Chain A
């Protein structure tokens, strides 16, 4: 009795050989690619570590360069600690915030448009920040196009201004106030459907994500350094 002859179409296939063979092929291709990469390119090794000779620019490993790039726009406690913490916690909370059953187990865009847009936006931002930090930043973290010469020094002078206290507080209240209210007003029943805890957490995470972009734009376009300055911390 051949297994293939007695095929029952219940939407399931035998793992052996249908899945195992595909895994084997994937592993062979990955191994070949990895071996070719390792034969063609050597892992970098510079001169011995010297604490007295600062590398300029000193870059973090590429997957953390996106956070390092954020140091241009935020103080270290935000760029290096708060933002990554919120990203990790936000990612972990995702399945508990998005409780719609639509699109489970298959690629779908239209039925899940808001979720997909938010997630892909954040993912793309992560990649873009890494690319900018890794390939477009030269000495003193100045911006250099790939065809520009790093030995030509760029002026570090920038005149940046802070928002006044009242303007800063007003700006934050306006941004978060409108941000929290708008989705509930535009999408009738959303607040009730999600419940207050889910709604507030989800919208807060989305607002913080877009807030990073807002801060970048404020800095690049309007030369704003801090939105809010306090004796203890600045935002």
Chain B
């Protein structure tokens, strides 16, 4: 057995993938982290305080995990969903009754989205309470706030896609507020100053129409599946990179 194992671990293929031995030495512990693409988000060593569960409650990491769950279940759902008024609701019903594992797929996507919003809020509270936004981490806090907004927008754009009464009226109510924007909303103060009407205001830009309809569904779909996830990914990468560059998980000076 051990001879066979040795044969495998010393093969060219194995050594081309894993570039170090697995014996428990400090050098190998470091190499496990720095020679692995996924683990190299971490430094080789962390401050003991940063290891305490009670310091972070894993809130930021779990928010990121929810983002991964959303990406995986979201891509699976895209195979079964067409963003048009004729098919959107029908596809939801088919997902519920016909598609194998359809309900669990959709439930996971929905509840992980809620969990992500809750976790990102709690993460912000944790970072505040530990004073982790203080120098040199000021700008990473700003990126974090941007990620909070992106999380809310991701969730909001996804909310319309089932095209049922709940989603339709929630988005109608939510986007109506956009129409009240001063200067650039048709119902906001000072809208006449720029000649803003319901068919050229900021709400029209968002919905592609004066009401929530076909265009809004398509816009929210593209925002939800492409633009916002890409934006969130970029900001996430910068967020993680800066945690490293600003000295790792915060600890008292």
Contacts and interface: CB of A to CB of B under 8 A. Distances in A.
Nearest to B96: A45
A151 interface: no
Given A13-B45, A42-B103, A67-B177, A4 B142 contact: no
A22 B49 CA distance: 14
Contact of B173 (A11, A27, A60, A94): A60
Interface in B194-235: 211-213
A63 interface: yes
Contact of B250 (A47, A92, A105, A232): A105
Given A48-B164, A63-B152, A233 B92 contact: no
A186 interface: no
A39 B107 CA distance: 8
A214 interface: no
A104 B46 contact: no
B129 to A, nearest CB: 6
A46 B166 contact: yes
Given A14-B30, A16-B32, A80 B58 contact: no
Interface stretch (B2-10, B11-19, B182-190): B182-190
A49 interface: yes
A6 B131 CA distance: 34
Contacts of B104: 38-39
Query: How extensive is the interface on chain B, given as a class?
Result: 35 or more
A14 B135 contact: no
Interface string B107-123: 11111101101000000
A2 B33 contact: no
Given A12-B46, A43-B111, A232 B190 contact: yes
B212 A104 contact: no
Interface string B44-67: 111111110100001001100110
Interface string A143-171: 00000000000000000000000000000
Nearest to A77: B180
A4 B24 contact: yes
Given A20-B39, A79-B177, A104-B253, A15 B46 contact: yes
Contacts of B48: 11-13
A30 interface: yes
Interface in A6-50: 6, 11-20, 22-23, 26-27, 30, 34-35, 37-39, 41-50
Contact of A104 (B53, B112, B131): B131
B252 A49 contact: no
B172 interface: yes
Contact of A49 (B45, B66, B164): B164
Nearest to B162: A45
Contacts of A80: 176-178, 180
Contact of A3 (B29, B58, B128): B29
Contacts of A106: 49, 130-131, 251-252
Interface of A: 1-4, 6, 11-20, 22-23, 26-27, 30, 34-35, 37-39, 41-51, 53-55, 58-64, 67-68, 75-77, 79-82, 88, 91-92, 94-96, 98-108, 112, 116, 119-120, 123, 232-233
10 contacts: A14-B26, A15-B42, A30-B115, A38-B104, A45-B92, A49-B168, A81-B181, A88-B145, A95-B141, A101-B135
Given A105-B252, A105-B253, 13 more contacts: A3-B28, A11-B48, A15-B44, A18-B46, A45-B96, A46-B166, A48-B165, A63-B117, A82-B182, A92-B146, A95-B133, A95-B134, A106-B252
